Each structure stands twice: as structure tokens, then as C-alpha cells.
Amino acid sequence: MKKIVLGGRAIITGQGSIAELAGIQAGRAFIVTGGKAMQTSGVIDRIEALLQGAGCTTQVYGGIGKNPDTQAVLDGLQSMRKFGPDLLVAVGGGSPIDAAKVMALFYDYPELDFAKAQAGDLPAVRKNLQFVAIPSTSGTGAEVTKAAVITFREQNLKIGLKTPAFIPDLAILDADITMTMPGHVVAETGMDALTHAVECYINSSRDDFSEVLAKGAVAGLFSWLPVSYQDKTVESREKVHHYQCLAGLAFDNTGLGMAHGIAHALGGKLDLGHGLLNAIALPYVLEFNARSMEVASRLDELARIIGRRDCQDFIAAVKELNRTLAVPAGLEQAGVNREAFSEGFAELVENCLKGSTRVNPVPVFKEEMAEILWYLYEGV
């Protein structure tokens, strides 16, 4: 038996759909966001105006970085408790949304801490707090998933905490907000979404629902991601925004694989963007996994969906897409110093074998992981 959850109460789509906030019944709204992009673009001002127009008092908490750590969550939680909201609105990329997920649950359950969270001791529902997620980037699917990825600095590792209580009540997919994304963010977050879809499709835990969602996301992203990157049309941004959400719904019910295991470990060590790391890792991971006849067959299917011949041609298409999006072929090209990469390499290998790598369709051993990591670094 398997329980399938497709997001929270609703997914709101369409240009201008942020106006849905005006109909939410709440008294005090705590708004969590990242750097300055949402403030500079006027999105935060509009969110506050909508909520205040509905009689809601607001407070903005910004500054959540691209790899939020435990301290960032606790600092935000402290401000949140002082304000005492009944509504939490997370707006921005996957990082502020993930941080807000943990803040929301810790706020509702004051007895929780990261030790309990890491042990998997998390409640399955929130108590009272309403939670709305408004993604401004198109990649993580965080607005519909039960995972929150947090960096544990003492372990040099990003860990995906999971509970259905993390799923926002409402996900608002407003294409207008995505127009603020610069090209490199479009590329990296889009490749994150493609990695979600592909790893879900070849995961042995896939089901009929996730299979269709993942397949559709792969087809849609191959068609629309290059357009979103190059032409920046509202239509293409909206399409990618929707397909990344489909990928999120798919993997949230299935799982991922080694590309994400590697990206989380490298992200904890090097503080690079998650989407960039997935984009670099995906071709190498697929080449490794293609040794499995079942995986190769699944990649054959994906190849035909995008008009290519077979498994190897699909991997070539992923590499071509990376080049179109100006994604570096390896970590060295991305500016990672060799000494920085080599330092603590044994720990890095161990960390790469954790998390999503544990459900990779092909078992991975230390020696193989070390070899893969050097391929990733040198971009060969």
C-alpha cells in the first residue's frame, strides 16, 4: 500500500495569481524571503499591500541565503515567535521556502529541535499556522513537497528533513514573479527540476502517478527551458514554472537518486547553488546508472519522448542542454579550487553516499563515488 499526496489544499496558477492572498483569513502574517530580489522587484510590497488590505498585520523577515543552515532557521524562528503570526508566507527560491517549512513546524511545536528532526521524530501535521508558498524561481518544487533541505554546518552536509507537515497549504505559481530571474538562475533551477523528473522516472519506487508526472515534466522542460533562458517570455517562464511543480509532485512521492546525494554533499562543503550542482552531476550519474538494463530502458523511453534515439542519446541531450544554458561541464570550470575540493575528500565521499544516494537505482561503492567525483570536478 502506498499513500500518494499531491501538494497541499490547492495549487493556484496564472499571471497575477498572487492576488489570491487577499482572500486569506488571517490576523498576523510573517513573510519569509531571501535576499533583496523580491524587495527590489516590488513583490514584497505587493504581498504586504494585499494582506494589509484584507486587515492583516504583516512583518517581513529577509536574508535567507542560498543554503540555509540550522542557525538561519533558529534566528528566523526567534523573530517569528516574537511577532506571533497565524499565517506564514514564504516567497522566493527554494531556500527561503525550505527554511520557512522548518520554522513553521518548530513554531507550532515548541518542543521540537534539530536533533529530533534529524532523528525523524517529526509530527505529520501542523497545529494552527496557515502556510502559503510563493516560489519566485522554477526548480525546487518546494511549494508542494514534504522535504526541507537544511545545511548542518558541523557535518558539512545538507540534509533533507521530511514530514507531510512541511507541505504548504497553498502553492501560488504566479508567472509574473518569475520574470525577475536572471539567466543563470533560470538555467540552474530549471536543471534542478529536470534532475528531479529524471531521477524520479528511473527510481525503483516510482508508481503510475509519479511516472506520468515525471515524464510530462521531462518533455515540458526540454521544450520550454531553453526558451525561458534565451527569450524570457512570460509564456515560457510560466510553462517552466508549471513543469518544475509537476516534477516536485512526482519525486515527493517516489524519491530521487545519486545526483541529489552528491549535490547535497557538495552544497554543504562548497556552498554552491543546488541547481548548479545537480546540473553538473546529472550526466555523469546517468552514465553510471545506465549500466543497469532497467535504467537504460527507462532512459530509452525518455529519449523517445524528446525526439532522441536511445539512452546514450538522451544523456547526450542533457549535456547539450547544459551547454545551451551555459552550465559548466565540471566543478573546476565553475570556479572550485582543486585544493578546496581535495580537502576532506574522504568525508566528502562518505557524505555523497548518504541521503538520496541510498535509493539510487544502482548501488554505489566508495571507490566508484570517488571516481565519479573527480569526473565531476574535471568535467571530462
Domains contained in the chain, number: 2
pLDDT of residue 157: 85
183-202 and 274-289 are packed helices; what angle lies between their axes, rounded to 10 degrees?
40
Q: Are residue 228 and residue 103 in the same domain, yes or no? A: no
pLDDT of residue 96: 97
pLDDT of residue 36: 87
pLDDT of residue 367: 97
CATH number at residue 189: 1.20.1090.10
pLDDT of residue 98: 97
Centre a 10 Å sphere on the Cβ of residue 327 and count the other Cβ atoms it contains: 22
Return phi, psi of residue 343, to 5°.
-65, 130
CATH number at residue 167: 3.40.50.1970
Quick check: 264 and 276 in contact, CB under 8 A? no
Of residues 42, 161, 38, 177, the one with CA closest to residue 103: 161
pLDDT of residue 215: 98
Q: Are residue 113 and residue 191 in the same domain, yes or no? A: no
Q: Taking the model in full, what pTM does it have?
A: 0.96
Taking the chain (380 residues) in consecutive chunks of 10 residues, what is each chunk's mean pLDDT? 92 97 96 92 96 97 93 97 98 97 97 92 93 97 97 89 97 96 97 98 96 98 98 96 98 97 94 94 98 98 98 98 97 95 96 97 98 94
Of residues 285, 283, 269, 268, the one with CA closest to residue 364: 285
Residue 24: give the domain boundaries: 10-178
Q: Are residue 141 and residue 247 in the same domain, yes or no? A: no
Of residues 99, 90, 112, the one with CA closest to residue 70: 99
**Left, alpha or beta for 126 (phi > 0: left; psi -120 to 50: alpha)?**
beta
pLDDT of residue 1: 87
DSSP state of 329: S
Residue 239 within a domain: yes
Report the distance separating Cα 161 and Cα 98, nearest Å: 10
Dihedral angle over CA of 80, 83, 86, 90, nearest 10: -40
